[in-house]
Each structure stands twice: as structure tokens, then as C-alpha cells.
Amino acid sequence: MVLLVKCPNCGTHVVPKSNGQCPACQKENIQDLIRLAERSGGQINDRVGGPSAPASASPDKYRSPARNSIFLVLLLIVIVCAALVIWNRDDLPGTLVDNADKAWSRAMGWDSADAYREFYEGYPESPHAEEAKARYIRLHWPPLPKEVEEGPLLTSPTASDDSESRFLLHDRDSIYGEPFHRTVKAMCIEEVRTASTSPWQNPYCERVIGSIRREYLDRVIILGEKHLCRIMKDYLEYYHQSRPHLALDQNCPTPRVIESPSEGEVISIPKVGGLHRLYTWAG
């Protein structure tokens, strides 16, 4: 059974109680909503989704203010970075002299060997290049002691005899600085430098250095220069008097006497702090 009631809006038409309104009133309500939307520019309060933006509105109008602020800050950072890069360019027309003067001022401010080296390598045509090179040499390679500069080592070379050393073979380590070159030249000795990363060109020296590292220095902790000198003295004594060498038929640079088994039992003598041992007869 269907219960019929009058329309609550018009009071004329009879409709089922479950419908609420007659078709004429529903049509009139829809027309009212359309007219309201036209008057409000397309914004209609929807019960579920809330207010909607008009179709013709620009998206930037509804962008968050915080998002706009972040965008402006990033844009400002990009502009500042680009300006700094352009300001420090050295290859721009008409700015080479100005940049050389600025670089010289920075090098004088730092007053370091690296700063002067970067200047005379970057601006070789600058009038300050020679001064920068001289300052770099003075800071990177300290001058020789007075007794060495004025001593017979530099003033009276004696390398004219054939018995003296005429050549010095070494690698390209930075320790061989300007004072070393002057000293060797004053002694009438010609320097021969090995190629870069080619230790096999100086095999005897590299073999000794490798033996010292593998057999001793890699196994101890160095506490200072005096400690290093003391333990190296112990190792050199072991190297010359106790360590067997394949090239010497298992003998030492300082030859050892061949001992007979009849001299007693074998004993072990610790060397270089116990890292190595010398085995000999007790008798």
C-alpha cells in the first residue's frame, strides 16, 4: 500500500510520501540552481565537494602563498649564483688585467706557496708572475743553512776526478727541491730522474725501500722522528749483519762465519724488537 500526501512546496499535487516533491517542483528547483550558478560566476556550493573554482579562473589565482615564496627564493638564488660566476670569469673581454690584479691581491692575502703557484701558472704574462714564482720557491723550499751555502760543499767542488760519482739517479719526489738541485749541481753531479710511476727504472733503491717497509715499518707504530731514527738504526744493523740475502748466497753484506753443528745446540736471538730472529749455535 502506497501512502499519498500533498506536495509540501505547491500544496496542489498529490505525490507518494517517499518522493517528497512533485515533478513540477523538482524541475523548478533545478532551474533555480542554474540561475544561482550563473549569478555567482559558476561557483555552486556542493554538499559533498565544497566550493569549486570557476572553469575560466587562472590556476595561479588559487596557488598557495608559501609555494610562491619558495619559488621566488629559488629564483633569487639562481640569479645570484649566475652573477657570481660571470663576475669571476677570466676569459671575458677586457677583464684579464683586472682579474690578474684581483688574483694577485688574493695570493698576497693568503701568502702561501700554493696560492703563488696557482697565480704564476694561471697568469704567466702578468708583471707579478716572476715575483710570485720567487715567493713560491722561498716558501716551498726553505733556503739552505748558512754553513752549507758558504761551506766547501758548494764553493769547492771535487767531482772532477773519475773516481767520484758523476750521476745521481732518483725519482720525481717533491722532496728534491731547489736547494737539493743547487747542491748537486755545485758538486758537478748530473741528476738523472726516472720516468713518472716507473719504479723499475731504479730497482735497487726501490727494492731496499720495499724491504724496509714490508719487514719493519709496516709492523710498528712510529711515535716521532727520534723514534724512527732509533728503530731504523736497529734495522740497518740487522740488515747488514744478520739478514740473509739471496744475491749473496744466503750470506749478509757483512759476511758471517760458517758455523759447525758440533758447536752446540741452536739458539734464537731476537732482532729489531723481536720481529726477526738470528739463529746460531750456542757454543
CA 281 to chain CA centroid, nearest Å: 56
What's the whole-number mean pLDDT along residues 12-27? Answer: 68
Whether 20 shows a pLDDT value over 70: the answer reads no
Q: Answer whether residue 276 is part of any domain.
A: yes
What's the whole-number mean pLDDT along residues 248-262? Answer: 86
What's the whole-number mean pLDDT along residues 155-166? Answer: 53
Position 106 scores a pLDDT of: 78
Q: How many domains does one find in the chain?
A: 2
Position 127 scores a pLDDT of: 81
Last residue of some domain: 42, 57, 75? 42
What percentage of the chain has pLDDT greater than the value 70?
68
Residue 49 — very low, low, confident or very high, per pLDDT cuts 50/70/90? very low
- pLDDT tens-digit profile of 183-214? 888 888 889 989 888 888 889 899 999 999 99
Nearest C-alpha neighbor of 179 from the set 155, 143, 147: 143
Residue 144 — very low, low, confident or very high, per pLDDT cuts 50/70/90? low
Mean residue pLDDT across the chain: 75
Whether 160 shows a pLDDT value over 60: the answer reads no
Which of 36-40, 113-117, 201-205, 244-248 has the lowest average pLDDT?
36-40
What's the whole-number mean pLDDT along residues 119-123? Answer: 81
Paired with 169 in beta bridges are 192
Whether 141 shows a pLDDT value over 70: the answer reads no
**Highest mean pLDDT, choosing among 57-66, 81-90, 166-175, 225-234:** 225-234
Q: Answer whether residue 239 is part of any domain.
A: yes
Position 1 scores a pLDDT of: 58
User: Do 170 and 138 contact (CB within 8 A), yes or no?
Assistant: no
Whether 60 shows a pLDDT value over 70: the answer reads no
Q: Answer whether residue 194 is part of any domain.
A: no
Whether 148 shows a pLDDT value over 70: the answer reads no
Position 88 scores a pLDDT of: 58
Q: Answer whether residue 173 is part of any domain.
A: no
Q: Answer whether residue 25 is part of any domain.
A: yes
- Biggest CA pair distance of the chain: 142
Is the overall model pTM greater than 0.85, yes or no?
A: no
Residue 140 — very low, low, confident or very high, per pLDDT cuts 50/70/90? low
Q: Answer whether residue 72 is part of any domain.
A: no
Q: Answer whether residue 9 is part of any domain.
A: yes
Q: Answer whether residue 122 is part of any domain.
A: no
**Highest mean pLDDT, choosing among 7-11, 162-166, 237-241:** 237-241
Range of the structural domain that residue 19 is part of: 1-42
**Highest mean pLDDT, choosing among 41-45, 80-84, 89-93:** 80-84
d(CA 43, CA 210) in angstroms, rounded, equals: 86
- Supply the Cα-derived Rg of the chain in whole angstroms: 47
